[in-house]
Amino acid sequence: MNALLHKLWSVAIVLLLLPTGSPLAQSEPAGISADSVLQQLPGASLKKTGELIGQLEQAGGAEMRPLFEVMLAGELYFVKESKQIIAITKTERRTYIGRDVFGKAALGEFTSREIKKIRVNNRLRSQLRETLARIDLLHGSKLAQKQAVLAMLDDLNDKNMRLLTTAQQSGVDGEVARLIDLAAAMVQLRDSRVSEERLEAIGVMSGQLEPAVRNQLQRLVNDAQEQDLAVRAAAQKALDKISERIEFFGQLEQLFFGLSLGSVLLLAAIGLAITFGVMGVINMAHGEMIMLGAYTTYVIQQLFPGAIAYSLLIAVPAAFLVSGSVGVLIERGVIRHLQGRPLETILATFGISLILQQAVRSIFSPLNMQVVTPSWMSGSLVINPVFSVTYNRLYILLFALAIFAALVVVLKKSSLGLNVRAVSQNRDMAKAMGVRTEMVDAMTFGLGSGIAGVAGVALSQLTNVGPNLGQSYIIDSFMVVVFGGVGNLLGTLVGGFSLGVANKFLEPSMGAVLANIIVLVGLILFIQKRPKGLFPQRGRAAE
C-alpha cells in the first residue's frame, strides 16, 4: 500500500514537473536528487515525511545535516505561496524570523499566516535522531560521535555495524573507541558460536554500565535455548558485577537526591532560622517572603528578556532587597508593637501572609507565572550511564551552602552580627551598653526576610511560581528549624540535610506520600524526646 502510494506520488510529481521541463524528476530511487525530495516536503503527511527523510539521507548525506537538525528542533517551515522551505526562529514578540536552511542567509520577517510548519511527531523525531547519529558518527564532534554510538548500541544491525567499523578505521580514540569495541563485543557474543570468542566478548562487556549491555546479558541468562553453560555462567557473573556497580551508584544517586531536597529545605528554613531562631518571632508570613523573591525573579526576566542567562544573578540581590525591605516594613509596622506577645504575632503575621498572597493575585493574576530556566541550569552532568546529576539541583545545592556560609560569616564577623547576638542573648543589657536594639531588630528581620527572598530565586527554578508558593514551604521551614534546634544555624543545616536524606531513602520503598508521613511522625517522636532539637542552646542564652 505504501509502496503503491509512493509510486503514485512520484508519478504525480513527474507529471507536475514535466511541463516546466524540469530535469529533477528521475525514476531511479537511488538517483533521486535531494532537491526533488525537498520539494515534496511541504504539506506531506507524517508518514510520507518519514519516507522523504530516508530519501534525503540517501541523496544528500552529511549535506542534509542542517535540515535534519532544524527539523528536529521543530523550526522547519515552508512559505505557503512559493513552497520554499525555510528555517524559522520565533521571537519573544511572536514574530517569525526566516533564514535559509543550509546557508545562514536571513530571509526577513514572516507572519504566521504566510508560513506553515512542517510537522514532526515522536516517530519522526526518533528517526531524525537516528539519521543524525549516522551522519555524526563519521563527521561529528567527539561528543556527537559518542552519542551516535550509544544510540546504535540498542540496534546493532549490519548496517550500523558497517558504519561503526568504518568509523573505527577512520580513526577514533578514547571513549568512542571503547564504545565501538563494546559494540563489536556485543555482536560477537550474539553471532558467534565459538565458546572462547563469546567468553572473550563477555569479558569486554563485564562491568560496563550501558543499559544495552545489561539487557543483552540478561536475555542470554534467561534464554532457555542457550546450551553453552560456560557462557551462561560467565554472563551471570558479568551481570552480577554490573548489578553491584549499579547498586553502588544507585545509593550514591539516592544520597544526592537527599542532599538536594535537604538544600531546598535549608534554603527555605535559613531565613526563618534568623527571624524565629534568633529573634524568637514566629513569622507566618515567612513563606510569602520566599514567594516575593520568586516573583522578583519573574519581574527581572520580564524586564530583561534578552538576558535570561544572567537573570538569576541579577535576581539574587534584587530579591534580597525586595523581600528584605518588605521584612523591615513588617517589623517596623507590626511586629515591634507586639513584642513578647507570641500569639498576637502569629495572628498578625498570618494576616500579613494572606494580604501578601492576595496582593500578588491582584497584581499578577492567580495563575502561575512562567519563570524561564537559563540554559546553563538545564540538563545534567552525566558521570556514567547510570549516574548523572542534574545541573539545577547541583547549583542549588552549592548555592544553599554558599548562602549558609555567608550568613555564618555575617553573624560571627560583622558588627551587625555582634549586635544581633547581643540583643538575642540579653536585650536589656545590650540596650544598656548602647546598642540600638530597635534598629538591630529591624535589620535582623530584614536580613532573615531577605535571605528568604534569595531562597525564592532558587525555588523559582524548581517549582511553580504562584501565589501559593510560600504556603507549601512554611511548614517545612518550621519543621527544619525546630528539628535542628531553635537559635542554632548549624542545627538548621544538619536538620535540613538529614530530613532531606531520610525522606529520599524512604521514598523508593514507601512511595512519596508515605515517606512524607513517616518523616513527620519520626520528627514528632524526636521532638517529644528532645524538645529543644538536635543542637539545643546551652547556658544563659537558652533562657
Partner 1 sequence: MNVKKMIASIALAAGTSVISSVVLAAETIKVGVLHSLSGTMAISETTLKDTVLMMVDEQNRKGGLLGKKLEAVVVDPASDWPLFAEKARELLTKEEVDVIFGCWTSVSRKSVLPVVEELNGLMFYPVQYEGEESSKNVFYTGASPNQQAIPAVDYLMSDLEVERWVLAGTDYVYPRTTNKILEAYLKAAGVAEEDIMISYTPFGHSDWQGIVSDIKKFGGAGKKTAVVSTINGDANVPFYKELGNQGVSSEDIPVVAFSVGEEELSGIDTGPLVGHLAAWNYFQGIDSEANEYFVEQWKAFIGDEKRVTNDPMEATYIGFNMWAKAVEKAGTTEVDAVEQAMIGIEFPNLTGGIAKMNKNHHLSKPVFIGEIQDDGQFEVVWETDGVVAGDAWSDFLPGSKDLIADWTAPIKCGNYNTKSKACSGQVQ
- Applying CB under 8 A, which residues contact partner 1? 46, 74, 90, 119, 121-123, 125-126, 129, 154, 211-212, 214-215, 218-219, 253-254, 257, 260-261, 264, 350, 354, 366-373, 378-380, 382, 386, 388, 390-393, 462-464, 466, 468, 471-472, 474-475, 504, 507-508, 511-513, 516
- What proportions of the chain, in percent to the nearest 5, are helix, strand and coil? 70, 5, 25
Q: What is the smallest separation between the CB atom of 434 and partner 1, expressed in angstroms?
A: 42
Q: What is the smallest separation between the CB atom of 397 and partner 1, expressed in angstroms?
A: 12
Q: What is the smallest separation between the CB atom of 77 and partner 1, expressed in angstroms?
A: 13
Q: Which is nearer to partner 1, 235 or 430 (CB)?
A: 235
Strands 115-117 and 106-110: unpaired
Which residues lie below 8 Å from residue 149, measured CB to CB, with a gap of 6+? 137, 164, 167, 176, 179, 180, 183
Q: Which is nearer to partner 1, 110 or 391 (CB)?
A: 391
HSE (CB half, 13 Å, CA atoms) of 169?
A: 6
Q: Which is nearer to partner 1, 147 or 424 (CB)?
A: 147
Q: Which is nearer to partner 1, 63 or 247 (CB)?
A: 247
Which residues are paired to 77 by β-bridges? 86, 117
Q: Which is nearer to partner 1, 122 or 141 (CB)?
A: 122
Q: What is the smallest separation between the CB atom of 259 and partner 1, expressed in angstroms?
A: 11
**What would the grid cell of residue 114 be?**
504566510
340: region left, alpha or beta (phi > 0 left; psi from -120 to 50 alpha):
left
Contact 189/220 with Cβ under 8 angstroms?
Answer: yes
The distance from CA 517 to its chain's CA centroid, rounded to whole angstroms, is 26
Contact 140/148 with Cβ under 8 angstroms?
Answer: yes
For helices 286-303 and 229-272, the axis angle rounded to 10 degrees is: 100
Q: What is the smallest separation between the CB atom of 335 and partner 1, expressed in angstroms?
A: 19
Q: Which is nearer to partner 1, 147 or 537 (CB)?
A: 147
Q: What is the smallest separation between the CB atom of 472 and partner 1, expressed in angstroms?
A: 6
Q: What is the smallest separation between the CB atom of 180 and partner 1, expressed in angstroms?
A: 20
Q: Which is nearer to partner 1, 39 or 460 (CB)?
A: 460
How far CA 407 is from CA of 137, 273, 313, 423, in Å, comes to 50, 11, 18, 17
